[in-house]
Amino acid sequence: MDEILIMELGLIGLGRMGANMARRLTQAGHPVIGYTRQPEKAEALVKEGAIAHGVF
């Protein structure tokens, strides 16, 4: 029997690299919590299912 492993992940920095990592992990079904100092960088990811934390 195959078991599906879902991990809750946190990323610090949602710039070019962090945003792409968060997007792929969210698409794979993992809950992603992202921290950023620039809220506009998190807006698209939140629409895709990520949870944003940071200085707003």
- Per-residue confidence at 1, pLDDT binned at 50, 70, 90? low
Which two three-digit tokens encode residue 26?
Answer: 């969210």
Can you give the pTM of this predicted structure?
A: 0.77
Q: Where are the beta strands (DSSP E) in the chain?
A: 9-12, 32-36, 51-54
Predicted pLDDT of residue 53: 76
Nearest to 6 by CA among 33, 26, 35: 26
Distances (CA, A) of 53 to 4, 5, 8, 15, 49: 27, 24, 14, 14, 13
Q: How far apart are CA 45 and CA 25, in angstroms?
A: 11
If one compares 55 and 45, the residue with the highest pLDDT of the two is 45
Q: What is the pLDDT of residues 27-47, one digit of tens each?
A: 999 999 888 888 888 888 888
